[in-house]
A and B are shown apart, each in its own frame.
Chain A
Amino acid sequence: MAVRLDYVLKETGSNLVRNLTLTLASLLTVAIALAFVAVSFLIGTGINQSFLGLRSDVQMFVYMNPGATAEQIDSVSKNLQSNPQVESVKFLDKEKTYAEFKRLFADQPDFVESINPEELPQSFRVKPTSTDADVVSAVGTEFENMTGVYRVEYAEEYARQVQKSLSTLNSWVRLFGVALIFVSVLLIFNTIRTAVFARRREIEVMRLVGASNWFIRLPFMTEGMVQGLLGALAAAGLTWGFDALWKRNFVNQVSFELLNQIKWTGGDLWKAIIMILVVGAVTGAVGSGIAVGRYLRV
């Protein structure tokens, strides 16, 4: 039996309008929940991309003993330059080290005063070829044991710490996102169940006059799909606004040391929006089908 399209459209339209307040209220909740889903997806993506950024400038510092001889410095320098795992080496002599030191502690002039430039260690700034933390620390250990070397420090350590806190944040964001998808599905489903309950008489009459189950289901499913889509569209608007706000306030702003690392592309934004549109439409349609099913059992 053919299901008439105009019948389905008419039923869908009139029911959406009839339950306008309910429709609006549920649209709003669904929109907010779905917007949170999209936002947590974006932040999660941004955090993942920030890992890539951090990995690309892993550095290592080899500090010499303050009393290291010129031969010792020369030997370390040669070894570094010939090491295949090292991409580039930069030597900071006493003057440069002192300049750097002054820059670092510019806010504590007394401390700077108290330091004799002669006591400052000279150092090598090393950029390894590999970004793999294990390779880098293997190289570091190798030089740590050379005579005249005070100690080796890794920028990686800092990067690692940032990575660690970011990845904790990321798992929370992901968890939050998954929970929100769940909540959105429940919200959509619950709204539909209320709408279906309000129309159980209609379903009863349809069954009585011999409407087939699909014929009864279809208008409910399109209605649920339209509601889910509308909620998702509103959520897309919210997400888009969040995207703009985030870009303006955080991205590449030096004052937000961690947050400014979290960026995503326009493509990611589209992905997030398409994802919530699909979640909205599918849960709307499938949820309605299930909610109606309760009343169809012969």
Chain B
Amino acid sequence: MKFVEHTGQETVIKLENVSKIYKGEHMALRDATVEIEKGEFVFLVGPSGSGKSTFLRLLNREETAEKGKIYVAGKDIAALPGYKVPYLRRNIGSVFQDFKLLPNKTVAENVAFALEAIGRPKSVIREAVPQILELVGLGRKEGSMPNELSGGEQQRVSIARAFVNRPLILLADEPTGNLDPATSVGIMKLLDRINRTGTTVVMATHDRGIVDTMRRRVIELDRGSVVRDQARGVYE
């Protein structure tokens, strides 16, 4: 089942009146309706606690919505049986503020781990890992340990890991939150490059400079509600 927009583009993410209630009372997301097309770059903005991370976690079913429907690539993800959730996640790369690298594995091993974990054959891994490390600009660091890298480099590794399987969607939760502005620009260029390959990118951020410079679609959340959805938008 596919959702075809009037623009002729494919809808990859669709939320219909989605509400997320934590622990029976707190409404982290309130009646959100959003449609995101293939290849879009979307910023999620809003004050702390407005529900940005919750929005992202709902998309790869780390959380489930109490109300409404969520479709990813046309599939109602609430209807997926538990054993199929990993297959949903193979289509969705995730990047975080704290990188989540494994400290006891080298750069190359960290990236290879993502492919090994989904049972990819060795021959594929041997080819894909150097290629993706080249793409993120870490061709020479493949043997380094994460603690030997700068924050920006660590984030590149985590992006490489998220993208090595060429997912349909890349979710980034404040990927520049721990980085200085100059390094952040480098990371944004990389995400932009990934987006140009046709990967849909949804990124939660507090970084006004980045949002205002890139001028992409902006969805603003406030206490769980979508209060603004603007093409080529600004931070506020």
0/1 per residue, B71-101, Cβ < 8 Å to A?
A: 0000000000011011111111110000010
Task: Give complex CA distance A192, B190 in Å.
Answer: 40
Closest 6 CB pairs of A and B: A210-B89, A210-B90, A211-B117, A209-B114, A210-B86, A206-B117
Chain B residues lying within 8 Å of A206, measured Cβ to Cβ, are: 113, 117
Question: Does B118 contact A209, Cβ atoms closer than 8 Å?
Answer: yes
A-B contact count (CB 8 A): 66
Instruction: With CB as the reference atom, state the residue of chain A lying closest to B161.
Output: A209
Chain B residues lying within 8 Å of A215, measured Cβ to Cβ, are: 117-119
Instruction: With CB as the reference atom, state the residue of chain A lying closest to B162.
Output: A209
Chain A residues lying within 8 Å of B91, measured Cβ to Cβ, are: 210
Task: Give complex CA distance A211, B91 in Å.
Answer: 12
Question: B46 to chain A: closest CB distance in Å?
Answer: 24
Question: Does B119 contact A2, Cβ atoms closer than 8 Å?
Answer: yes
Question: Does B61 contact A205, Cβ atoms closer than 8 Å?
Answer: no
Question: Does B61 contact A3, Cβ atoms closer than 8 Å?
Answer: no
Question: Does A4 contact B100, Cβ atoms closer than 8 Å?
Answer: no
The residue that B100 contacts in the complex, of A204, A213, A216, A298, with Cβ under 8 A, is: A204
Q: How many residues of B contact A (CB 8 A)?
A: 29
Instruction: With CB as the reference atom, state the residue of chain B lying closest to A214.
Output: B83
A201 within 8 A of B: yes
B11 within 8 A of A: no
0/1 per residue, B105-134, Cβ < 8 Å to A?
A: 000000001101111011000000000000
Q: Which residues of B contact A (CB under 8 A)?
A: 60-62, 82-83, 85-94, 100, 102, 104, 113-114, 116-119, 121-122, 161-162, 165
**Besides the known contacts A210-B87, A212-B83, 7 further A-B residue pairs in the complex with CB atoms under 8 A apart:** A1-B119, A4-B116, A6-B122, A207-B89, A209-B117, A210-B165, A212-B86
Known contacts A201-B100, A213-B83, A298-B62: A208-B89 contact under CB 8 Å: yes
Q: Which residues of A contact B (CB under 8 A)?
A: 1-4, 6-7, 18, 201-202, 204-213, 215-216, 298
The residue that A205 contacts in the complex, of B83, B85, B104, B114, with Cβ under 8 A, is: B114
Chain A residues lying within 8 Å of B116, measured Cβ to Cβ, are: 4, 7
Question: Does A213 contact B114, Cβ atoms closer than 8 Å?
Answer: no
Question: A73 to chain B: closest CB distance in Å?
Answer: 88
Chain A residues lying within 8 Å of B93, measured Cβ to Cβ, are: 209
Chain A residues lying within 8 Å of B85, measured Cβ to Cβ, are: 298
Chain A residues lying within 8 Å of B83, measured Cβ to Cβ, are: 212-213
- Most A-side CB within 10 Å, residue of B87, B92, B119, B162: B119
**A and B contact pairs by CB, cutoff 8 A, 5 listed:** A201-B102, A205-B161, A209-B89, A209-B113, A216-B117
Instruction: With CB as the reference atom, state the residue of chain A lying closest to B90.
Output: A210
Chain A residues lying within 8 Å of B104, measured Cβ to Cβ, are: 18
Task: Give complex CA distance A283, B2 in Å.
Answer: 47
Question: Does B88 contact A210, Cβ atoms closer than 8 Å?
Answer: yes
Question: Does B86 contact A205, Cβ atoms closer than 8 Å?
Answer: no
Question: Does B119 contact A3, Cβ atoms closer than 8 Å?
Answer: yes
Task: Give complex CA distance A215, B113 in Å.
Answer: 12
Question: Does A208 contact B100, Cβ atoms closer than 8 Å?
Answer: yes
Question: A199 to chain B: closest CB distance in Å?
Answer: 9
Task: Give complex CA distance A291, B157 in Å.
Answer: 29
Question: Does B161 contact A202, Cβ atoms closer than 8 Å?
Answer: no
Task: Give complex CA distance A3, B161 in Å.
Answer: 20
Question: Does B61 contact A210, Cβ atoms closer than 8 Å?
Answer: no
Chain B residues lying within 8 Å of A211, measured Cβ to Cβ, are: 86, 117-118
Question: Does A209 contact B90, Cβ atoms closer than 8 Å?
Answer: yes
Task: Give complex CA distance A197, B124 in Å.
Answer: 31
Chain A residues lying within 8 Å of B102, measured Cβ to Cβ, are: 201-202, 205
Task: Give complex CA distance A4, B116 in Å.
Answer: 9
Question: Does B119 contact A208, Cβ atoms closer than 8 Å?
Answer: no
Chain B residues lying within 8 Å of A209, measured Cβ to Cβ, are: 89-90, 93, 113-114, 117-118, 161-162, 165
Known contacts A18-B104, A205-B113, A208-B100: A298-B61 contact under CB 8 Å: yes
Chain A residues lying within 8 Å of B117, measured Cβ to Cβ, are: 205-206, 209-211, 215-216
Chain A residues lying within 8 Å of B119, measured Cβ to Cβ, are: 1-4, 7, 215
Task: Give complex CA distance A2, B119 in Å.
Answer: 7
Chain A residues lying within 8 Å of B165, measured Cβ to Cβ, are: 209-210
Question: A197 to chain B: closest CB distance in Å?
Answer: 15
Question: A14 to chain B: closest CB distance in Å?
Answer: 9
Instruction: With CB as the reference atom, state the residue of chain A lying closest to B91.
Output: A210
Instruction: With CB as the reference atom, state the residue of chain B lying closest to A204.
Output: B100
Chain A residues lying within 8 Å of B118, measured Cβ to Cβ, are: 1, 209-212, 215
Question: B190 to chain A: closest CB distance in Å?
Answer: 19
Task: Give complex CA distance A1, B100 in Å.
Answer: 26
Task: Give complex CA distance A109, B89 in Å.
Answer: 94
Chain B residues lying within 8 Å of A18, measured Cβ to Cβ, are: 104
Instruction: With CB as the reference atom, state the residue of chain A lying closest to B110.
Output: A205
Task: Give complex CA distance A164, B82 in Å.
Answer: 58
Question: A184 to chain B: closest CB distance in Å?
Answer: 30
Task: Give complex CA distance A9, B44 in Å.
Answer: 42
Chain A residues lying within 8 Å of B62, measured Cβ to Cβ, are: 298
